[in-house]
Amino acid sequence: LRVTAVEDWCERDFPGYYTYEIRPMERSHIIPAMTTNSEPLEIQHDCTYLVHMHSMPYPYGDPNFATGIKYMVPTCIEGYCSCESQNVVPAAENVSVRTYQKGGTIKAVVSWTYPAISGHTHQFRFDLSERFYHNHLNFANPNAFKYRIADMPSHVVYAEENVTSLSTVLPIDLVPNEEYRLTIFAMNDQLCHSDDVIVPFFTGLILTEDDMATLPA
């Protein structure tokens, strides 16, 4: 069995799938999510794929022992549609990060606004990077390797439709007087996502007790 993408942009996500491990009595085969080399095999809406299969052994060129089809993935499948066929998912707006002390540790509360959107629920996902100190190694670009991914558990905030103001506390204890960089993006219920919003912040400024009264639980 050999499956290849026709369009160049589809081939970037689907480098090709090949297998010889199909038994004689099998009548279906599921394409895995990754190749044996750990490359992703992502099948996309509106992409065309060539599927070719032949017997083993195979009398080369004999059409009685081989078959092939061309298949285009529909724009919508069981309620899920191509992101290109939908309105662009808006990015989070007015993103701010405030640090505060709680039980002897430093935490960060993230607040943001979002346009009112009917017909879709959204989730917001976060990545946190921390300042990377590379022992005086010199790079041509002084900003190269400035940050590394922090050890923060996966964190998702779910929002119903038309919710416009949100906040959350990041599930990680921060280091005092340190530089961080927060990345936030939105994803709708069609699994389409927005552009990233990146917000750098510093843990040197800690909220007062009056400010803490406004924090989410």
Domains and CATH numbers, the chain: 2-84 (no CATH), 86-212 (2.60.40.10)
Q: End-to-end CA distance of the chain: give it in Å, rounded.
A: 54
Q: Is residue 43 very low, low, confident or very high in pLDDT (cuts 50, 70, 90)?
A: very high
Q: Which residue has the tokens 């921060």?
A: 174
Among left, alpha and beta (phi > 0; psi -120 to 50; other), residue 12 is alpha
pLDDT digits (tens, 9 = 90+) for 127-141: 999 987 655 556 565
Q: Is the dihedral of CA 73, 75, 80, 86 positive or negative?
A: positive
pTM for the predicted model, two decimal places = 0.71
Residue 185's φ and ψ, nearest 5 degrees, are -140, 155
Q: Mean pLDDT throughout 11-40? A: 90
- What is the predicted pLDDT for the residue at 209? 47
Q: Which of 15-24, 113-122, 172-181, 207-216 has the lowest mean pLDDT?
A: 207-216
CB neighbourhood size of 187 (10 A): 16
